[in-house]
Amino acid sequence: MAKCLISLGANIGDARSSVLSAVDLLRQGLAQGDQLTLSPLYHTPPVGGPDGQASFVNAVAAIQTQHDVEKMWQLIRRIELRLGRQRIQRWEARRIDLDILLYDDLRIWTEQLKVPHPRMCMRRFILRPAADVAEQWLDPVSGLTIGTLAANLADGDGALLLVAPADQAHSQAGRDALRQLQDGVSRASGTRWLDREPLLDVDHIRDAFQSATAQHLPASDRGRIACWLPMDQFQLLVEASPLELVLPTKLIVFWQPFLSESSPPQSTAWEQLHRKLAIQLRLCPESEGLGHWRFQGARYLLATSDVHWAQHELCAALEAMDCTIWPLESAD
């Protein structure tokens, strides 16, 4: 049987009952002999969405199933529809939300479905319950277990490395856009950029992060931190490393604007426009055959030419890394 990890969340009405109802419907939709283990329920703050939302109730279900990934995806969509999920605004309040986090070692990269879930590794409110029921399951993208990913976000503030396109470092317009992004993230989330200039080698990156997170520093001098380097320099670091590159950041974000100043053609999904980079980041099924970059750790592909949108994504990622969550109760 296949191993499938599914997240559940709700923050409208009786959120606890909605999550447990979804679990009951999941069990009903599984094949005879399939097994479902539910994590404890957690209260979690809303992250990244519109203001004024109530806190969420979140949980994760670890499932041993005979269903293929397409059938599992269809099942959770039917459950959302039955429980009154409406999709109007991104990251809005919702009656129920179900997502496939992992399905065995599959990597799926389409407009409709991405597995592993692309934001799983940056979300403390997902990884903590996931580690309760699937601690030893392996994330095929980061190369780390769920338990290791959860431990990476278990304490401390958000910390990320932004890998920007080479022209952001080598052209004035690119540097201006990057500076605008840095300033916006700092104002909105209190994030401190370790250096306005790129950190160009692994030792420099490690030293900067270790200094910024040193335990002897007062909390006011730590907080959320970020640094950046150009894409071409990151590739050189990976290629020069004798072993798999391991960086001290909690998340590496690859910012990839569209290939032209205008929006991509409506007939071409951004997933296709940036498929080469997705392959290098191990996000696609073709990655193994075509040569991916060998480094461990959480990574996220941010495809947008809108600096304000990129700012919003980075702020949400930083908040998701260090949000406060607390157990509601054991539900299984």
Kindly name the residue from 16, 24, 51, 99 that is annotated as catalytic.
Answer: 99
Kindly name the residue from 16, 24, 34, 94 that is annotated as catalytic.
Answer: 94
Kindly name the residue from 24, 77, 82, 85 that is annotated as catalytic.
Answer: 85
Q: Which residues contact 90 (CB under 8 A, 6 or more apart)?
A: 49
∠ CA 30-35-40, rounded to 5°: 110
Residue 210 phi/psi, 5-degree rounding, is -65, -40
Kindly name the residue from 68, 82, 97, 183 that is annotated as catalytic.
Answer: 97
Confirm whether 179 is a catalytic residue: no
Q: Classify residue 235 as exposed, middle or buried by CB count within 10 Å of its CB (0-12, 13-18, 19+).
A: middle
The two tokens of residue 189 are: 């989330």
Task: Please answer whether residues 115 and 106 qualify as being in contact, where contact means their C-beta atoms are separated by less than 8 angstroms.
Answer: yes
Q: Which residues contact 2 (CB under 8 A, 6 or more apart)?
A: 64, 65, 66, 67, 68, 69, 103, 104
Confirm whether 97 is a catalytic residue: yes
Confirm whether 85 is a catalytic residue: yes
Taking the C-alpha atoms of residue 55 and residue 15, their distance in angstroms, rounded to an integer, is 9
Whose CA is closest to 251, among 187, 161, 179, 173?
161
Active site amino acids: 85, 94, 97, 99
